[in-house]
Structure 1
Amino acid sequence: MNEVTWVGVRERVLRLAEHHESDKVFGARGHGFRLGPVMSEEQLRALEADLGVGLPAQYRSFLLHVGAGGAGPHYGLMTPSLGDGGWQWRGIGLAFSAQPTTAEFAGRPFVAEALQSELDALDDQEPEKAAFATDEEFRHAHAAWDARYEELYDAQEAGAVFLSEQGCGYTSLLVMTGPHRGAIWEDLRPMDRGIEPTGHDFAHWYRSWLKRTEQRLDS
């Protein structure tokens, strides 16, 4: 999708900050309808070099024509930034930010669905104390089980960027690799629902938020 998708979007977002009821919009106190500066083509190529894959087209165009981060759904968009450890997405300017994501981690294969099946199976295999002859044997077995669970849990996040904090531990992710590349998924694991697709791409997700926000403030 080309930059036509984003014509006038930056101006529309920044205009919302001037509305006298803008702070009543959910998440607005977290981002203040502020947008970071747009990124240059040179910066995008450097980011993609760390990522190991090209950015999803809609999101790449957004970074180039709207802003690197800031105002957006929920508590706002994380921003790609270059630090000592390379490129990563951080909550620059956000009062409530999601966890940072390194470009290297976001460039790994996205296999959240497959890993969820393994996690579900592992849940059924949690060691029970009554099955062990001693407390020490049980603690050892449970520690090994817990370590494996944490490993799979953390691996579910690979291949995606934690793009926006929803609140209560829920997060919106942008998938960077694989067949779901460019799609918005939600991390709903705090309610034991796993990482699930929204059915929307980045452009639909962002523009729908903008339209809903404008309609609310104009009503």
Structure 2
Amino acid sequence: MLTTDFPHPDSYRADEDELDAREPPTQDFPDRNAYQAAWEQWDAEYEVFQERKTSGAVFIQENGCGFSTLLVVTGPHRGSLWFDGRATCDLILPLTLEGRPVSFTDWLARRSMELVCW
């Protein structure tokens, strides 16, 4: 998915809310097998949606505990770094340094820098 532009998180929030609202509620399925099948179908759609969130980006650093640093390679945010915090807060946030987006060059020069999620 590197040829697809990296989507700014604001661009998919409504779609995510709509998908979340369609998660099958247990009480709608008296038969456990029917519920399991419906949930697995929904979960497969959700997994594809989650993958699209990092289109056009490369994972350049694993930060532990499910957190990563992304380098955007396509689209209007190309060259900037983002923090993938979906493990706890379900957000992907731009990294900034002194109020401006962090570039790959910034990251290489200052691997232990004071990066801030914006």
**Interval containing the TM-score (normalised by the shorter chain):** 0.7 to 0.9
CA distance 1:198–1:125, shift in 2 (3 Å):
same
Is the counterpart of residue 154 in structure 1 residue 36 in structure 2?
no
Q: CA deviation at 1:136?
A: 3.1
RMSD: 2.2
Contact 1:107 1:160 in 2 (8 A): no
Contact 2:5 2:76 in 1 (8 A): no
Count, aligned residues? 108
**Which of structures 1 and 2 has the larger relative contact order (alpha carbons within 8 angstroms, sep 6+)?**
2
Distance 1:140 1:197 in 2: 37
Structure 2 gap segments, 5+ residues each = 97-101
**What is the TM-score when the length of structure 2 is the normalising length?**
0.76
Contact 1:107 1:159 in 2 (8 A): yes
Q: CA deviation at 1:170?
A: 0.8
| Alignment match of 2:29 (pick from 129, 132, 135) | 132
| Alignment match of 1:123 (pick from 16, 20, 32) | 20
Distance 1:211 1:184 in 2: 13
Is the counterpart of residue 201 in structure 1 residue 103 in structure 2?
yes
Contact 1:119 1:153 in 2 (8 A): no
* Aligned match of 1:111: 7
* Aligned match of 1:181: 78
Q: Deviations over 1:119-150 (max 9, x none)?
A: 23322332111112432332222111111101
CA distance 1:138–1:202, shift in 2 (3 Å):
same
Query: What SS class does the counterpart of residue 77 from structure 2 fall into?
Result: coil
Q: Deviations over 1:160-188 (max 9, x none)?
A: 01111111121101101111111000111
Q: CA deviation at 1:194?
A: 2.1
| Alignment match of 1:141 (pick from 31, 34, 38) | 38
Which 4+ stretches in 1 moved above 6 angstroms? none
Q: Which has the higher strand share?
A: 2
What pairs up with 1:1-219 in 2 under 5 angstroms? 105-111=1-7, 113=9, 114-199=11-96, 200-209=102-111
CA distance 1:188–1:211, shift in 2 (3 Å):
closer
**What is the TM-score when the length of structure 1 is the normalising length?**
0.44
Structure 1 gap segments, 5+ residues each = 1-104, 213-219
Q: Deviations over 1:19-51 (max 9, x none)?
A: xxxxxxxxxxxxxxxxxxxxxxxxxxxxxxxxx
Contact 2:56 2:73 in 1 (8 A): yes
Contact 1:115 1:152 in 2 (8 A): no
Identity %: 34
Q: Which has the higher helix share?
A: 1
